Chain A
């Protein structure tokens, strides 16, 4: 692994190193963001890294087929569905509570059920 990385060749290990690093950065964001939208951005990072890895394995293991590429397309479609649902939930949450801070969502909250803020 190390000699290939040092020579600069883009073998499988170099690709996997990059996609794993991208996913790990996304994991860090998932655990440290307080804003729900920021968490969603980090999640998109993880999804994208996984999709790239699907395509890399497609190119390495079966260059004549496109199964990994099809999986990447499905990942994009599922990400679209996920963002739509998250958008609905967060907009509703924001109109009720005036915040999307996930550390501030326990209990009834200030704006619950039309109560005075």
Chain B
């Protein structure tokens, strides 16, 4: 089997797998299983990145997205578990609205993108992207990303502080005392 045929086979395998798992993410009545399916979808996307030649991106996807964000989501599912563990099936009205909106978006998107000429998708050699991404993130030139990079670090700090400020338990007595001082 040639490398190109292998790439094609892997692409369609990841595509079919991620679509099936994505359907499980939105349709499964048990949220914990939906979160596990989301892990699978994101892992397939890491496979997509590797197929495109962005090995560093695939590693970040697995380490940060699958290993960090989805674990946080699993905690969230467990922390907000209601007595009705299962989510109801959507009512026919909500289901129909969802199907119509999703299909309309899909059709519009394909209509907009169909004008693009089809081209072979060839990324960099696998693993060759790490140095380039590092240089781009710290490049102070006109095509560099040092300002957004620093802004993202401020955003993460703000989200951290904001998350603590919103979720911490406030004693009602101290809260009224603070209000008196303010």
Contacts and interface: CB of A to CB of B under 8 A. Distances in A.
Contacts of A56: 52, 121
Contact of B76 (A26, A52, A78, A87): A87
Q: How large is the interface on B (under 10, 10 to 19, 20 to 34, 35 or more residues)?
A: 35 or more
Contacts of A1: 114, 118
Nearest to B51: A10
Contact of A28 (B70, B98, B121): B98
A112 interface: no
Contact of B25 (A29, A58, A64, A98): A29
Interface in B2-52: 7-8, 11-12, 15, 18-19, 22-23, 25-27, 31, 34-35, 38, 41-42, 45, 48-49, 52
Given A40-B73, A45-B38, A77-B152, A85 B166 contact: yes
A63 B22 contact: no
Contacts of A76: 60-61, 64-65, 69
B127 interface: no
10 contacts: A13-B113, A13-B114, A21-B106, A31-B102, A66-B132, A66-B136, A74-B148, A81-B155, A84-B163, A88-B165
